[in-house]
Structure 1
Amino acid sequence: MSRLPLTFECQGARCGATLDMAPGKTGLLLVSGGNEIRAGAFNGQARLAAEIAAAGFPVFRFDRRGIGDSEGENRGFRRSTKDIAAALLAFRAMAPQVDRIVGFGNCDGASALMLAGGAGCDALVLSNPWTIEESEDATPPPAAIRARYLEKLKNPKEVIRLVSGGVDLGKLARGLLRASQPRTAPSSLAEEMRKGLAEFPGATRILLAESDRTAQVFAERWDAGDTRIARCPGADHAYSRPEARDWLRARLIEALGA
């Protein structure tokens, strides 16, 4: 495996990128979420790219404008369509054998791909899509609260805490009240993402880390019967546990090999 640092142009700004080279004709475009640089949290995306390339698929990572090694203004994920399109052009130029590109994004990287209707990719893997408006508070959705209480009731130590008075009953009552509420209403962002994805003609997979609040909110606001959804039990937002990383890598390789 060979890793090549490079730059490409987007609207007059020079953007930093990295290509993990491999001979495959299907490649992975990795779209970072939030203001995360292309290496990812704790170098996780760089490690993932190396593993995918070792399986035979080239991987292109990039910093959108205003992030990491890239010039220009950080316009946020809602306005990153041109950044993704420019990265796709650079990927195809640097790996001319590639005739199919799978776009992969976590968090608002997934949202950006959805809002852009796939942004020119041939297939999509969307992980823990971000559907939370800037104006919303940090309260977990009712389904997440119910799931947390169910896990606590399975734990004998938590049951002992409850019966022995080691639990704040006021806080418990507020949590139970919140848990009894109906599903949260879809956000306008979620509706925009739904419309954008409806315009995408390629294959789509939606991956949800079951212990991640972002994924839990998405699940509240999305069609529960969507057959494109796969869930990773116990995984956090970044799939940081070894078994969760293995699960994510396997799902990506499945999509690349489809």
Structure 2
Amino acid sequence: MTERYISLAGAGYQLSAILHQGAATTGVLLIVGGPQYRVGSHRQFVKLSRYLAAQGVPSMRLDTAGMGDSSGGKAAFYQQTADIELAIDAFFQQCPQLTQVVLWGLCDAASAILIKLNRPDPRISGVILLNPWVRQQQSHAKTMLKHYYLKRLLSRQFWHKLFGGGLALRRSLSSFWQTLRASKTATVAATAQLTVTEQNYVAAMLSGWQQFNGKVLLISSGNDLTAQEFLQLCADNPAWGKCLQDAGHYPISDASHTFSSARWREQVEQQSYNFLQTTK
């Protein structure tokens, strides 16, 4: 197995990456979400790349600017398009047999990938999105009401603490009321501004997905509010729902946000490899 460090020259900064070589003509570029670097939580990204390399699939694990061994100032995930494009170019230079690339990202890295798709690249044949980040006040409030407060109300432990005096009732009711009000707040209208910001990045994600002609796989965790928030958005918004309907979706019902057990990680690895076979 061959893996080596490479440095990518950006505009006044250097990006660091680990290249895992393979003979296949489709490669996988792993975009790393924050705050972490190219190894990933519980070494998930290392293990995924080594699994793919064992199947002959080349991959690259990237530290975006300001993270890990990369220099420069750290940019928000919705401003990482230039880093992703730089990495794609370097990947094809380092692996001249490549004809296409699949982008892979967890959490806000998945969001960054969808935003990048607003600048189409015919070399991108597919994207694998794990628990994309779409956190906004209204969507988060709806998710909390459905997946947190409802579970608490149905919990025997909650009522035991309530009547046993172990629960700050006023504070809990205040938190619930604030969440309920936030869930009813009007959604900010989608914007067509060229500059992606914290206020319009969800609209930019949708726009990128709608423009993309390649294949999409969503892998979602059942035990994760971020994943549930994303799925709730797709259920509430017809445009998002249409995108998800046209994509592949592999839910892992009991998985944590970062797929922290060996069983969950292996499912992610297998599904990622299976998806690559469909992009040929």
Which interval holds the TM-score relative to the shorter structure?
A: 0.7 to 0.9
TM-score for both structures, normalised by structure 1: 0.84
Q: Select which of 101, 126, 129 maps to 1:126.
A: 129
- The aligned amino acid for 2:253 is P
Contact 1:141–1:216 (Cα < 8 Å) also in 2: no
Partner of residue 144, structure 2: 141
In structure 1, distance between residues paired with 2:107 and 2:10? 23
Partner of 1:59: 59
- As a proportion of its length, which structure holds more helix? 2
Q: CA, structure 1 residues 29+186, in 2 after alignment: closer, same or farther (shift >3 Å)?
A: farther
After superposition, the Cα gap between the structure-2 partners of 1:160 and 1:195, relative to the gap in structure 1 and judged at 3 Å, is closer
Q: In the TM superposition, what whole-angstrom CA distance separates every residue of 1:132-180 from its partner, at most 9, and x where no partner exists?
A: 14x7897652222267349x65xxx75994798587493886788768x
* Paired residues for 1:198-209 under 5 Å: 198-209=210-221
Q: CA contact under 8 A between 2:118 and 2:207: conserved in structure 1?
A: no
What residue number does 1:13 align with? 13
Work out whether residues 138 and 185 of structure 2, in 8 Å CA contact, stay in contact via their aligned partners in 1. no
Equivalent residue in structure 2 for 1:237, among 257, 269, 274: 257
Q: In 1, distance between residues paired with 2:162 and 2:256?
A: 30
Alpha-carbon distance between aligned partners in 2 of 1:34 and 1:108, rounded to the nearest angstrom: 7
User: In the alignment, which residue of structure 1 is the partner of 2:193?
Assistant: none
Map 1:1-258 onto structure 2 (within 5 A): 1-117=1-117, 120=121, 121-133=124-136, 141-145=144-148, 148-149=151-152, 158=157, 161=160, 165=164, 168=167, 170=169, 188-223=200-235, 225=241, 226-227=244-245, 228=247, 229-258=249-278
User: Aligned in 2, Cα 1:65/1:197: closer, same or farther, shift over 3 Å?
Assistant: same
| More divergent stretch after superposition (231-240 vs 157-166) | 157-166
Q: CA deviation at 1:97?
A: 1.2
The code of the aligned residue for 1:107 comes to C
Cα distance in 1 for residues equivalent to 2:39 and 2:108: 16
TM-superposed CA distance for 1:247, in Å, is: 1.4
With over 3 angstroms needed to count, the CA separation of the structure-2 counterparts of 1:42 and 1:22, relative to structure 1, is: same
Structure 2 alignment gaps of length 5 or more: 189-199
Q: Contact (CA 8 Å) 2:139, 2:233: kept in 1 or not?
A: no
User: Any conservation in 2 of the 1:186–1:221 contact (CA below 8 Å)?
Assistant: no
Q: Distance in 2 between matches of 1:95 and 1:107?
A: 27
Aligned equivalents of 2:105 and 2:52: distance in 1?
15
Counterpart-to-counterpart distance in 2, 1:232 and 1:118 = 29
Residue type at the aligned position of 1:103 = L
Q: Classify the secondary structure of the residue corresponding to 1:206.
A: strand
Partners of 1:31 and 1:61 within 8 A in 2:
yes
The amino acid across from 2:221 in the alignment is A
1:209–1:12 Cα change, 3 Å: same
TM-score by length of 2: 0.78
Once the two structures are TM-superposed, the CA of residue 4 in structure 1 deviates from its matched residue by 1.1
Q: 2:191: which partner in 1?
A: none
**In 2, Cα distance between equivalents of 1:89 and 1:132:** 30
Task: Report SS of the residue matched to 1:38.
Answer: coil
- The residue type equivalent to 1:243 in the other structure is R
Distance change >3 Å, CA 24–CA 183, structure 1 → 2 = farther
Structure-2 separation of matches of 1:185 and 1:22: 49
8 Å Cα contact 1:4/1:18 also seen in 2: yes
Q: Is the 8 A contact 1:183 1:220 kept in 2?
A: no
